[in-house]
Amino acid sequence: MSDKMGFETLQIHAGNNPDPATGARQVPIYQTTAFVFRDADHAAALFNLQEVGWIYSRLTNPTVAALAERITALEGGVGGICCSSGHAAQIMALFPLMMPGCNVVASTRLYGGTYTQLTQTIKRFGWSAKLVDFDDLDAVKASIDENTRAIFCESIANPGGYITDLDAIGKLADEMGLPLIVDNTTASPYLCRPIEHGATLVVHSTTKYLTGNGTVTGGAIVDSGKFDWSASDKFPSLSQPEAAYHGLNFHEALGPMAFTFHSIAVGLRDLGMTMNPQGAHYTLMGIETLSLRMDRHVANAQKVAKWLEGDDRIEKVTYAGLESSPYYDRISRICPKGAGALFTFTIKGGYEACVKLVDSVELFSHVANLGDARSLIIHPASTTHRQLSDEQREAAGAAPNSIRLSIGIESTDDIIADLDQALSKAVG
């Protein structure tokens, strides 16, 4: 399908052709572990990467492949893979790039789980991360050294809804000869297309806006196909012979598809972070209404944030769609269709008032998720960012008196009424 078609067309049709065996119009759920080979030569060709096809669902599955094709089309990439979660997607994005002793330079404004993954968990691989304020380009550049292999940030940062200047970061990454990895979960490809701003790889937690109904977990990685993996000796997994495939040089043999094929043939093969076909099916159905939902999410968030900003019980609202936000001028460049639906606000009364607030809501769901059709609320300092130090929480935008909202698609009046009554109980 042509990637020149409109977003609304691609979100329904990309990766979805009538099933050749049955004529089924919706993508079937291929709930199978393995696939029958035509003969011994066919099997050998598949395992040698001489022919593209189905082997084993840990590697490839038609339902999951359809989802990867659809997300790739929406992001404007050349290839993509799906995996078991957003955190799996982040590890798989780094896996072909990193070696023991290497580091990634990342934004301080990250989801708490990502913060921990980068600062603690990846140490077990011999990797490390340097966290920097990405509004300070000089500091970002100064953090890059000979062992840096990637730059990582979120397009709209969780939890505060801060919009990263991807144009500036993308330009810096290009100057330094490094791939830029952008987590586009909070924006979705409808609001932001990071590849157009210089991203090499885009990662998603498909659990969130792409699925949109809080039913399944999943992750995705989309490759722009624009990075020259052979320009230096920094990325041997992609630019040098791979022993497991008889000396195959992925970049030399597969060009723009090198990262995608490596992630399947090596990443999924050995890490096993596989997405199940049932989950892929739920996400395919969710994406069909992505643009409709995101328009509503943004419209609701704009009204709710404006109401909160005018309430005397509120100290600050971080929504980038407000003219008072220091990130307001980035919307037209980075997220021209809106600033998303995730943001925080600080309330008078501090930590205890926040706890009382989340215990008093009735319409909002108190859950550790975002991007659902339902409005969601959480207190990051005591949950998603609890493992961080006070200083790290402040840098990430998760102060003790902050509440994170993920605004759903319900009636705006009902959303505001619920916050109003909860604030009355929490603050007075």
Residue 319: C-alpha distances to residues 50, 308, 324, 343 (Å): 50, 10, 9, 5
Q: How confident is the model at residue 34 (pLDDT cuts 50, 70, 90)?
A: very high
Give me the pLDDT at residue 390, please.
65
What's residue 384's pLDDT? 63
Q: Mean of the pLDDT values across residues 101-107?
A: 98
Mean pLDDT of 317-326: 97
The C-alpha atoms of residue 31 and residue 51 are separated, in whole angstroms, by 23
Return the half-sphere exposure (C-beta side, CA atoms, 13 A cut-off) of residue 381.
Answer: 23
pLDDT over 90 (residue 10): yes
Q: Does residue 337 carry a pLDDT above 80?
A: yes
- Per-residue pLDDT tens for 363-401? 999 999 999 999 999 988 777 656 666 666 666 566 788
User: What pLDDT, on a 0 to 100 scale, did the predictor assign at position 351?
Assistant: 84
Specify the range with the lowest mean pLDDT, choosing from 10-24, 151-165, 209-223, 299-313. Answer: 10-24
Whole-number pLDDT of residue 381: 76
Omega prior to 159 cis, within 30 of 0: yes
Q: 66, 15 in Cβ contact below 8 A?
A: yes
> Per-residue b/e over 55-75, b at no fewer than 16 CB within 10 Å?
bebbbbbbbbbbbbbbbbbbb
**Residue-level pLDDT at 389:** 64
Q: Which of residues 427 and 124 earns the better pLDDT score?
A: 124
Sequence-ordered alpha helix ranges (H) in 100-224: 112-119, 137-143, 166-176, 188-191
At residue 259, the pLDDT reads 98
Q: Domains in the chain, please, with CATH?
A: 10-31+60-286 (3.40.640.10), 290-426 (3.90.1150.10)
Measured at the CA of 35, the angle between CA 254 and CA 265, to 5 degrees, comes to 30
pLDDT digits over 145-194, tens only?
Answer: 999 999 999 999 998 899 999 999 999 999 999 999 999 999 999 999 99
Q: At residue 218, does pLDDT exceed 70?
A: yes
Specify the higher pLDDT residue, 49 or 122.
122
* Residues present in the chain in total: 428
List, in order, residues 6 or more apart from 336 with CB less than 8 Å away.
none
**Residue 352 — very low, low, confident or very high, per pLDDT cuts 50/70/90?**
confident
Longest dimension (CA), the chain: 75
Q: Which amino acid is at 386?
A: R
Provide, rounded to the nearest whole percent, the portion of the chain with pLDDT above 70: 96
